[in-house]
Structure 1
Amino acid sequence: MTQDSVNFIDAIDELCDEKGLNKETVISTVEAALAAAYRKDYGKPHQVIRAKMDPKTGDAEMFKVTTVIDDEEFENPEAEITLTDAKKIKKDYKVGDEIIEPMPKEENFGRIAAQTAKQVIIQRIREAERDMIFSEFKDREHTIGNGSVQQIEGKNVIVSLGKVNAILFPSDQIRDENYYVGQRLKVYIKEVAQTSRGPQVLVSRTDEGLIKGLFELEVPEIANETVEIKSLAREAGTRTKMAVIAHDENIDPIGSCVGQRGTRVQSVLAEIGDEKIDIILWDEDVEKFIVNALSPAKCEKIVISSKDNKAIVYVPDDSLSLAIGKNGQNVRLASKLTGWGIDIEKAESQGKDKKLKKDKKNDSDTNSKTTAVSVEKKEIVKEDLPMDEDKNIKEGKK
Structure 2
Amino acid sequence: MKKHLFKVLFSVAFGAVLVACDDDKEKEVTPVEETEYKFIRVLVNDEVSKELSLVDPVKLSVEKFEAQYAKSALYGTQGGRFGAILNGANNFVQLFDTGFEGHGDHVDVKGTPKFGALTGDGNKPTHFKSKGDEIITFNDGDGTLSIAREADFHTAGKKMTHINAGNVAHHGAMTKFDNGTYAITVKDGSVAGTLPERVKIIDATGKTLFASTIQTKGIHGNATNGSISLFGSSSGILAVEPTGTQQLIPHPADFGDAWFGSILEAKGAGKFLGYTAAKGVYLIDVASKAVTPVLASTDIMQAKVDYAGNNLAVLLHSGELRVYDLKTNSLKISGSVTGATAKDETQKPQLEATARYIYITQPKTGELLVVNAANLSKISKVKVSATPYRLSILGFESSEGH
Same fold (TM over 0.5): no
* TM-score, normalisation: structure 1: 0.22
Higher helix share: 1
Q: Normalising by structure 2, what TM-score?
A: 0.22
Which structure features the higher share of strand residues?
2
Name the larger-Rg structure.
1
